[in-house]
Amino acid sequence: KAGVTQTPRYLIKTRGQQVTLSCSPISGHRSVSWYQQTPGQGLQFLFEYFSETQRNKGNFPGRFSGRQFSNSRSEMNVSTLELGDSALYLCASSLRTDPTYNEQFFGPGTRLTVL
């Protein structure tokens, strides 16, 4: 079974631009979560989508947004990029068969560099 895929793997943008990152979960997984990883702040939760609905949102400004499509693929968008947005953005998918907790499987990430 194919793992979580993220595109693109690397991205270079300039301040003020916007960017869209894509995540395809493992087949059959309906939950997609996004995390930001930086050397200073570590791994921080951005948001989770399940059945096309945002279930939870982390403490990030409104410039960070996301959505999920009917096939469970997800995109996240960052508008008006700032230098501090440079990070590895990780996507994780899970079966999410509540109430049982299912572990999350991570993709390889998208490395975003803002110049």
Partner 1 sequence: AQSVAQPEDQVNVAEGNPLTVKCTYSVSGNPYLFWYVQYPNRGLQFLLKYITGDNLVKGSYGFEAEFNKSQTSFHLKKPSALVSDSALYFCAVRGVMDSSYKLIFGSGTRLLVRP
Tell me the CA distances in angstroms from 110 to 34, 37, 55, 86, one per residue in order.
11, 10, 22, 10
Choosing from 16, 17, 43, 69, the residue that interacts with partner 1 (CB under 8 A) is 43
Task: Determine, following the binding rule CB under 8 A, whether residue 107 of this chain makes contact with partner 1.
Answer: yes
Task: Determine, following the binding rule CB under 8 A, whether residue 69 of this chain makes contact with partner 1.
Answer: no
Task: Determine, following the binding rule CB under 8 A, whether residue 101 of this chain makes contact with partner 1.
Answer: yes
Query: What is the widest separation between alpha-carbon atoms in the chain?
Result: 44
Q: Whole-angstrom Cα distance, residue 25 to residue 28?
A: 8
Contact 78, 63 (CB under 8 A): yes
Task: Determine, following the binding rule CB under 8 A, whether residue 42 of this chain makes contact with partner 1.
Answer: yes
Task: Determine, following the binding rule CB under 8 A, whether residue 104 of this chain makes contact with partner 1.
Answer: yes
What does the binding site for partner 1 look like in residue numbers (CB under 8 A)?
Answer: 4, 6, 31, 33, 35, 42-45, 48, 50, 55-56, 58, 90, 92, 94, 96, 101, 103-109
